[in-house]
Amino acid sequence: MYGLVNKAIQEMVCDHFGEDAWKAIRELSETKSENFISLESYPDDLTHRLVKSASQVLGISAAEIMEDFGKYWVKFTGQEGYGEMMDLAGDDLPEFLGNLDDLHSRLGVIFPKMQPPSFQCSDQEKQTLNLHYYSHRKGMAPMVSGLVEGLGERFDTAVEVTQVQDREQGADHDVFSVTYQP
């Protein structure tokens, strides 16, 4: 994945747990780079090793780290200069969730080698919708829960996310039920 992702993991760990925790995670994961280059593509394995080592060093499950990371990502990308692109994706949570594929295809100009996820909304009612998540990668679903929670914060909307279909349990893709204040 692009270095921007690894950089965000590094910043999240340093912000929440301090530099020493990051140093221990970097060593345990045998990561050579001291800093990541946002626009350089790194092997997915490196990102997975960072999450696994963070889980061991911090004593938190990998799923929890991914969820926290999803939340952090919304703020982080806003601060890293992608706020305007997010502004273009919608004025409220359901509109934004419906435009996630457009957002990632616009980002494809900046990150040409990216393998973006794909999202679809269904069963939309006044306060709920189902969010379908399709990915080339495995094990990222907890990040999606955190991302939607982070977007709830961005739109100042109380939000609840429950995974209702799980690829790890044999489903062909992941589905999340999202409930929000209109």
Site residues, ligand HEM (CB under 6 A): 1-2, 4-5, 74, 77, 82, 85-86, 100, 103-104, 107, 111, 114-117, 135-137, 140, 143-144, 147, 151
Structure tokens that stand for 123 in this block? 């069963």
157 φ, ψ (degrees, to nearest 5): -120, 125
Quote the least distance from Cβ 99 to ligand HEM, whole Å: 10
Of 54 and 147, CB closest to ligand HEM: 147
What are the C-alpha distances in Å from 18 to residues 4, 10, 12, 59, 168?
19, 10, 9, 15, 33
Quote the least distance from Cβ 24 to ligand HEM, whole Å: 25
Of 98 and 116, CB closest to ligand HEM: 116
Residues 86 and 78: their CA atoms lie apart, in Å, by 8
Quote the least distance from Cβ 74 to ligand HEM, whole Å: 6
Quote the least distance from Cβ 33 to ligand HEM, whole Å: 16
Residues 90 and 165: their CA atoms lie apart, in Å, by 26
